[in-house]
Amino acid sequence: MIFKVKHTLSILIVFVFFSCQEKNTPITITPQQFHETVDQLTKVMIHDVFSPPVASRIYVYPNIAAYEVISYNNQTYNSLTNQLNDFEQLPDITLKKNTNTPLAALIAYMEVSKELVFSREKLLVYTDSLYNHWSKTNLKEFNDAKLFGEQVANHVKNWMHKDKYIETRNMPVHNILTDDPFKWVPTPPAFMAGIEPHWNKIRPLILDSTNQFKPKAPPTPSLDKSSEFYKELMEVYAIGNLIREEGNDSEKLNIAKFWDCNPYVSVNKGHFMFAEKKITPGAHWIGICKIACQDAKKDFESTIYAYTKTSIAINDAFISCWDEKYRSNLVRPETLINNHIDNTWLPLLQTPPFPEYTSGHSVVSGAASEVLTTIFGDHFAFDDTTELPYGLGVRQFTSFRNAAQEAAISRFYGGIHYMSAVEFGLEQGKKIGHFVNDNISFLSK
């Protein structure tokens, strides 16, 4: 009997010993876990069908929160407080000794993300699962990191809510009643009203003003066959016809489809219309940032730095581009070609629901490529696998600028932009990228 009690007691002691060991196992956070968390946010954004400008906002604030955590008392990375517009110094932070900073950064990212999507419950399932796992692995380490991460996240959220996004939700829709044949009107098949006509009211993160990099004006709209504008219009018509003649093996068609990134594609089947969900242009470049970080084997801090700098450039690129779109309010090629040249013609890509000039993908690609080039180098070759989950293949690029040039020209091949919008848009984006590079001090000297 005594033997049985001693034996049972020994087993209990061993069990308690190993249980305590398990509960105090250090929590390790890897760059891959951060990539997976960004991917999870992207999935929710696709589900919720956010517009390209709104998607850029959803990416940038969680990244800034994560970055502020890793830069806190860091000798390598500088805080973005007092560098970004209206982003004030962090309040006194409760930082326990030996706090797991990567864990706190990931928590800050997730806490801000949950404030930005419609399907919050989808992110809650993901975050709750991770929180449960970490708390069982090492409760004290998790609680200390969560306290730090939440304090930074709350500071970022308070700043975020003052960027005028909430106010723009109640502003009027874009007025589309016009007799001017060169002003934008809704396009088939869904004939949606123009999205985010007040996006230039959103506070930029680094730009001095929304029109700071106002692009060169497009050619004067005209149906005079000798005018520059009419020649560009006919170029769009001709390239669409040529690609159709080339068939499914056309490289130009592959390029157009690869960079489509239109979350608003409407599909008609019989009497039904439904949306075919895709990533946005900004999401594609966030995906390229992920690929570059993985290929370069960046550590956790360097990964967050790359995401944050890239997402800031993308965010302000959309604000700058949308400022021009609703200023020039230029008609899409599809509308003019159908009304004046060929009423049966269709672009290879579905025309997005907003004015034509400048090309959003061109502006964003120009900005993102310049920022990524400063991080990874001029000749960073990579395989772009971003579109694999959406049924498209892999494309190879010799540099980020090479990818940006292809992304820009894809809009011309797709029949949704004139060449001026592509060329001037790419130039506009590059200027924004250079401005981000020159005016934010991420790294300590």
DSSP string spanning 363-384? HHHHHHHHHHHHHH-TT--EEE
311 touches 116 (CB < 8 A): no
Confidence of residue 1 (pLDDT cuts 50, 70, 90): very low
The string of pLDDT tens digits covering residues 46-90 is 999 999 999 999 999 999 999 999 999 999 999 999 999 999 999
Residues 6+ apart with CB under 8 A from 68: 79, 80, 81, 90, 108, 152, 155, 156
Beta-carbon neighbour count of residue 201 at 10 Å? 17
Q: How far apart are CA 194 and CA 211, in angstroms?
A: 20
Residue 57 identity: R
The residue whose two tokens read 């959309």 is 318
Residue 377 identity: G
In CATH, 24-166 is 1.10.10 = no
pLDDT confidence of residue 267: 67
Residue 186: CA atoms inside 13 Å, Cβ hemisphere, count? 14
- Helix 360-376 / helix 52-71 crossing angle, nearest 10 deg: 20
**Of how many residues is the chain composed?**
445
Give me the residue spans of the domains in the chain.
Answer: 24-166, 175-439
Q: How far apart are CA 291 and CA 207, in angstroms?
A: 27
Fold assignment, 175-439:
Vanadium-containing Chloroperoxidase; domain 2 (1.10.606)
Q: Is the pLDDT of residue 10 over 50?
A: no
CA angle 292, 298, 304 (to 5 degrees): 85
Q: Is the pLDDT of residue 5 over 80?
A: no
Task: Note if the pTM is more than 0.85.
Answer: yes
Nearest of 283, 297, 306, 182 to residue 232 by alpha carbon: 182
Residues 6+ apart with CB under 8 A from 167: 201
Whole-number average pLDDT of the chain? 93
Q: Is the pLDDT of residue 303 over 50?
A: yes
Q: Is the pLDDT of residue 277 over 90?
A: no
Confidence of residue 280 (pLDDT cuts 50, 70, 90): very high
Name the percent of the chain lying above pLDDT 70: 93
3-state SS class at 397: strand
232 touches 221 (CB < 8 A): no
The string of pLDDT tens digits covering residues 190-200 is 999 999 999 99
